[in-house]
Amino acid sequence: MKATGIVRKIDQLGRIVLPIELRRTLDISENDSLEIYVEDDSIILRKYQPACIFCDNARNVVVYKGKNVCKDCIKALEEI
């Protein structure tokens, strides 16, 4: 993990503000979704990118019956 030296307080509603420098560096825009992970005593935020349920690929993903499936896996399934 890389330290940034940035400290933020949590407001009364439990919110924090991510500094613009971090958002630009990590390509996080307004209304983007973030995944929240907990590891030991750390909270990890990661930009949410839906991935294929079969191969974990995040490119060319479509939603089929509520599940994320990439086009490569769709092709492979069609060949079965």
Q: Are residues 20 and 1 in the same domain?
A: yes
Q: Quick one: average pLDDT of 7-20? A: 96
Q: Are residues 56 and 76 in the same domain?
A: yes
Res. 42 pLDDT band, cuts 50 70 90? very high
Q: Count structural domains, the chain.
A: 2
Q: Are residues 32 and 7 in the same domain?
A: yes
Whole domain around residue 63: which residue ranges? 49-80
Q: Give residue 47's pLDDT.
A: 85
Is the pLDDT confidence value at 52 over 80?
yes
Q: Quick one: average pLDDT of 6-12? A: 95
Q: Are residues 4 and 42 in the same domain?
A: yes
Q: Are residues 10 and 40 in the same domain?
A: yes
**Torsion, Cα of 51, 53, 56, 61 (10° steps):** -40
Q: Are residues 2 and 37 in the same domain?
A: yes
Q: Are residues 8 and 42 in the same domain?
A: yes
Across the chain, mean pLDDT equals 92
